[in-house]
Structure 1
Amino acid sequence: MSDPTDSVSIPPSTAAAARRGSSVWLWLVVLALIGAGGWYGWRQWQQREVTEREAAADGAQRLDALEQRVDGLRTNQDAQNRRIVQADSTNRVLRDELHGIGQRAALIEDSVSKLADPNRHGAQAMRLDETELLLTLGQQRLQIAGDLEGARRAYILAGGVLDGIDDPAYLSLRQTLLQETAALKELGIEPRMQAMAKLDALAQSLSLPQDTAKPAVAEPAPWWRRAFGTLIETQPVNRTVASHPADRAAALAGLQLEISLARAAAERHDADGYKIALKRAEQWVQRLSAPSPTQDKQLASLRELAAMPLSLTVPTLGTTLQQLRQLRTAAH
């Protein structure tokens, strides 16, 4: 028995058309799948781009916020550093002031302890300090400035202060001070002031007549002197007295200058300069006048002035001050 289908035959053209139709649909399906995949990939790429842009914008915002926060922290740190430096300076000043207060307190404590010391006697110690100061001032005024009157006043004031001390240990000191004060009173005028006064008197009383002695009968001048007398002036080479008015004016100026230099040297206690200036003044006197009793008197006055001392010589000066310091050292 045979199959019924075997008797049915399919034409070749129909089979080929069926195969072509199925291939077209297959390609359409493939293209549709490819298009769907491409569209889906493009959509995913677009979403990724948006996500990345959002992430980048969010990161930039976070970075800006972080930078602002860092700037704020730096500002706060700078402010804190300034406050720390200011506080350190204030603490240093406070430490210095506290150290100064401690030193002043120590000094005050030392002063109070000294004043409270029964062996020192506060009032007596202050009187001794004042006496020492006055004696030192008197000695310095006499030695440095040559102020005899100031030294006398200082010693008199020191004696008044020392009289207020009842301690018998200073009895010999008061006696020494009295002797030294009496020695100062006996000095009279200060040698420097006396020398300056004599210099001024000598400068005002100088009498220097010009040597105008001429022969009684004038001898006739030679022809060359009559011819050239108005142009040439002659004088002996051994003549040392200035006769020309210009020479005498220069010599007088030199004499006054030497006397001024001697006075300046006396003011500054320069004994060597004082003597040298007066020695040069003698030469100017010899230049201005011929040898005569008047010239000898003036030269003797200059030599007497040059021999005068410019400073006081008090052998006992400073004895009271030295004794006072020894007594105070022994008391400690």
Structure 2
Amino acid sequence: MGSRRLVVTLLVLIVVGIGVWRGWAWWQARSAQERTAASEASLRLDALEARAEALRRDQRAQAQRLLDAAATNRVLRDEVLGLGQRGALLEESVAKLSDPNRHGAQALRLDEVELLLSQGAQRLDIARDLAGARRAYALAAGALDGIDDHRLLNLKQALAQERIALDALGAGTQAEGGVRLDAFVKALAALPRDAHAAAGGDTRARPAWQRVLAPLVDVRPTRDTTLIAPAERTAADAALQIEISLARAALEREDDAAYRAALDRIGTWLPRLWPDSSALRQVRGQLHALRQAPAPTPPAVMGTTLQQLRALRNAGVRLRLPPAPEAAPESPEVTP
């Protein structure tokens, strides 16, 4: 009985061992399959990534080729446009060469008139040289009067109107403003610095105690804002000179806003440098007149003659050329 039980136990243990061994073998096989599948999936993923990278490289190469092709097309288009412009310039040059207005003394006079009008406009616009502009317009009028053609009558009238407008400007608003600013600066230099001198009083008419203490104490009203300390007055004088220089510069470049702003700042320095007096009030009146001066504006008719002349020449107006002198008929020789 005991031996049978032992045999059964051994059989059970053998069966259990075989089952455990088979399970372990199955688990090992499954793990190996999973590792193999993961390795194959990793290889496929690497291959896909390599293929995607190759596609990206191809895409970048295609994009670079497209950019190169676009740049080449732009260069070719620019070259074609340049050729077209050169052709147009050549046609224009040929047309100008074939234009009879480009030949003869009258054409040269028209060129001279256009050059003089351009120089006069440039002198007026850039340098505000009214005298130079008047001389240039006078020379242009003289050259234009030498051309006898009724189609230039409007041009001559426009030039006469421009010369009248130039003469009406006088010395020019800029020159007048500079003269008035110089007069204002001279008036500033003549203002009295001392309060008693500004009031027009005599030191002998002051009380005795004020004359005694005058070298030590100067009595001033509490509402007086005039600077007393020498260092402050020196700094204020320097600031005033800077503002005057800024006003001159703004007047020369015709910056009306900066010019008026500089005059306003000059007005703020006046009560701090000079005590109130009739002379200071007169100077303030001059400063107010400078601020109220009108801004320089060129006449509306300026430049019309040059525009009309260019319009006539572009329209192909042909001037009447003087007839060529006819050759005298040759008399036949009489032989004896």
Q: TM-score range by the shorter chain?
A: 0.5 to 0.7
- Alignment of 1:208 onto 2:191: yes
Given that 2:155 and 2:305 are in contact with CA atoms closer than 8 Å, whether structure 1 keeps it comes out as yes
What's the counterpart of residue 275 of structure 1? 260
**Counterpart among 233, 243, 251 of residue 258 in structure 1:** 243
Pair 1:173-2:158 in alignment: no
Kindly indicate whether the alpha-carbon contact (under 8 Å) linking 2:187 and 2:283 is maintained by their aligned counterparts in 1.
no
8 Å contact kept, 2:120–2:133? yes
Q: Is 2:286 aligned against 1:304? A: no
Q: Which runs of 5+ in 1 are unaligned?
A: 1-102, 220-229
Q: Secondary structure at the match of 1:331?
A: coil
Query: Distance between the aligned counterparts of 1:310 and 1:145, measured in 2?
Result: 17
Deviation at 1:125? 2.7
Q: In the aligned structure 1, how far is the partner of 2:297 from the partner of 2:138?
A: 19
Q: Tell which deviates more after alignment, 125-134 or 165-174.
A: 125-134
Question: RMSD over aligned Cα, in angstroms?
Answer: 3.4
Residues 115, 122 of structure 1: 8 Å contact kept: no
Alignment partners' CA distance in 2, 1:173 and 1:241: 62
Distance 1:146 1:190 in 2: 8
Give, in whole Å, the separation in 1 of the partners of 2:258 and 2:179.
Answer: 18
Equivalent residue in structure 1 for 2:127, among 145, 152, 159: 145
CA distance, structure 2, for counterparts of residue 249 and residue 284 of structure 1: 12
- For these two proteins, the number of residue pairs brought into alignment is 219
Q: Name the CA shift for 1:246/1:262 in 2 (closer, same or farther; >3 Å).
A: same
CA deviations on 1:189-225 (whole Å, 9 max, x unpaired) are 1211221122222212323323247984759xxxxxx
When the two structures are superposed, what TM-score results if normalisation uses the length of structure 1? 0.57
Deviation at 1:314?
A: 1.1
Q: How far apart in 2 are the matches of 1:170 and 1:274?
A: 43
Distance in 1, Cα, partners of 2:96 & 2:130: 36
Indicate if the aligned counterparts of 1:146 and 1:311 stay in contact, CA closer than 8 A: no
Supply the distance in 1 between the matched residues of 2:291 and 2:108 (Cα, whole angstroms).
Answer: 46
- 1:323 positional shift: 1.5
Distance, in Å, in 1 between the alignment partners of 2:160 and 2:184 is 38
Letter in 1 for 2:172: E
Matches of 2:99 and 2:114, distance apart in 1: 20
The CA deviation at 1:234 is 11
| Alpha-carbon distance, 1:120 to partner | 5.5
User: Is the contact made by 2:250 and 2:258 (CA closer than 8 Å) also made in structure 1?
Assistant: yes
Identity of aligned residues (%): 49
- SS of 2:315's partner is helix
1:194 aligns with 2:176: yes
Tell me whether 1:329 sits opposite 2:311 in the alignment. no
- Is the partner of 2:195 in helix, strand or coil? coil
C-alpha contact (below 8 Å) 2:110/2:144 kept by paired residues:
yes
Deviations 1:36-80 (A, max 9, x none): xxxxxxxxxxxxxxxxxxxxxxxxxxxxxxxxxxxxxxxxxxxxx
Aligned residue for 1:197, secondary structure, equals helix
Match of 1:154 in 2: 136
Do structure 1's residue 124 and structure 2's residue 109 form an aligned pair? no
1:141 deviates by 1.3
Farther off after superposition, 133-142 or 120-129: 120-129
- How many angstroms does 1:288 deviate by? 1.6
Over residues 228-281 of structure 1, what are the superposed CA-to-partner deviations in whole Å (9 max), with x where a residue is unaligned?
xx9xx9987643111233332322222222112111211222211111111111
SS in 2 for 1:239: coil
If the length of structure 2 is used for normalisation, what is the TM-score?
A: 0.56
Query: What's the offset of the Cα at 1:324?
Result: 1.3
Task: Tell me the distance in 1 between the aligned counterparts of 2:132 and 2:297.
Answer: 14
Instruction: State whether structure 2 residue 279 is matched by structure 1 residue 294.
Output: yes
Q: Paired residue for 1:184?
A: 166
Q: CA deviation at 1:116?
A: 5.3
Distance 1:243 1:331 in 2: 75
**Whole-Å separation in 2 of the counterparts to 1:118 and 1:283:** 67
The Cα of 1:126 is off from its aligned counterpart by 2.7
The amino acid across from 2:178 in the alignment is M
Aligned counterparts of 2:254 and 2:279: Cα–Cα separation in 1: 30
Change in 2 beyond 3 A, CA 1:125/1:119: closer
Equivalents in 1 of 2:119, 2:166: separation in Å? 14
Q: Alignment partner of 1:269: what SS?
A: coil
Partner residue of 1:318? 303
- Asked which structure has the greater RCO (Cα within 8 Å, sep 6+), the reply is 2
In structure 2, list runs of 5 or more residues that go unmatched: 1-85, 211-215, 318-336
Question: Deviation digits for residues 116-166 of structure 1, max 9, x if unmatched?
Answer: 544655433332222122112211211221110111111111112212222
In 2, the alpha carbon distance for the partners of 1:261 and 1:161 equals 42
Distance in 1, Cα, partners of 2:229 & 2:101: 81
